[in-house]
Amino acid sequence: MDDIAILIPCYNESKTIEKVVRDYKKALPEATIYVYDNNSVDGTDQIARKAGAIVRYEYQQGKGNVIRRMFRDIDARCYIMTDGDDTYPADNAREMADRVLNKNVDMVVGDRLSSTYFNENKRLFHNFGNNLVRKSINYLFRSDIKDIMTGYRAFSYLFVKTFPVLSKGFEIETEMSIHAVEKNMFVESVVINYRDRPEGSVSKLNTYSDGLKVLRTIIRLYRSYKPMGFFSFLGNVLALLAAIFVIPVIITYVKTGLVPHFPTLIVCGFVALAAIHAYFAGIILSTISQKNRQDFELELQKTGFRMKQLEKEKNI
């Protein structure tokens, strides 16, 4: 079991990976650095190995798939996840690790948005997307995470071993943030000085397609974690639609005693029934969600016991 593990998912980062590995070796000389190569074709793995990193491979394409493999494979008291593109400074790694190891923080967020991100990042829609995602999640989940989509984070053993990785791509950071908030994990932020990619290094993030995936992830997780809120909203919309279309029918009936628009009345009745079903679905799923949270707390205790066993084996 490592004390500190540096996790670097990589896909074609030959121009920067050597500097990234050396910077983190200097910042945290006691840490073990793992580079997980995700089908690179530019020799990223060879460069990382020469720089002193342990290189492993994940052949399923996508950042989420790489992080799933990392979290399964590696046992450590503290994990620091960063990118191989040299956009995140290693100078903050010590502070982030100390918060996990000494304050029992479950997730430390490297906050780019409170410092240099909007000046360094020249992609306008990336800036807009980061703000939109941050405000959406903080509103829906009643949280105050400063940077939702940052790739620079530190984790505890408990977080890593109880986090169910479902996303395959760049929406993984959003999933981490929501999981931490919903499961009442201890989250703190460290302001970092983000720097844009050096010349010749190309981002793999597609502003539009990956942005839509992130938004779908938010909706999916809101439905799963906050079913009462999700289905109540759906039920309210359906009830409102039924009311809008049935009111003229009722007014006509009051005035004339006739119902000339039977199809409208019938459809409104079915829409009203769908609204009632949505409310009850929210109640039932909310109860299930509460039971899942209770089970998760029990799983945390089991994971904590496994961590103590691993530490004892390391010290023997």
Q: What's the pLDDT at 312?
A: 77
Q: Which residue has the tokens 């299930």?
A: 288
User: Average pLDDT, stretch 1-21?
Assistant: 93
- Centre a 10 Å sphere on the Cβ of residue 74 and count the other Cβ atoms it contains: 19
Q: What's the pLDDT at 285?
A: 92
Asked whether the beta carbons of 198 and 15 are under 8 A apart, the reply is yes
Residues 220, 171: Cα–Cα separation, whole Å = 12
For the whole prediction, is pTM greater than 0.75? Answer: yes
User: Average pLDDT, stretch 20-48?
Assistant: 94
Q: Which residue has the tokens 């004339």?
A: 256
pLDDT band at 72, cuts 50/70/90? very high
Q: Which architecture, in CATH terms, is 2-225?
A: Alpha-Beta Complex (3.90)
Q: What's the pLDDT at 243?
A: 93
Question: Taking the domains of the chain in order of start, what are their residue ranges?
Answer: 2-225, 227-315
CB burial of residue 316 (10 Å; 0-12, 13-18, 19+): exposed
pLDDT of 303 > 70? The answer is: yes
Structure tokens at 210: 């990956």
Q: What's the pLDDT at 137?
A: 87
Q: What's the pLDDT at 191?
A: 92
The amino acid that residue 297 corresponds to is E
Over residues 265-284, the pLDDT tens digits come to: 899 999 999 999 999 999 99
pLDDT band at 154, cuts 50/70/90? very high
Helices 44-51, 17-27: crossing angle, 10 deg rounding: 30
Q: Would you give the distance in Å from CA 78 to the centre of its chain?
A: 18
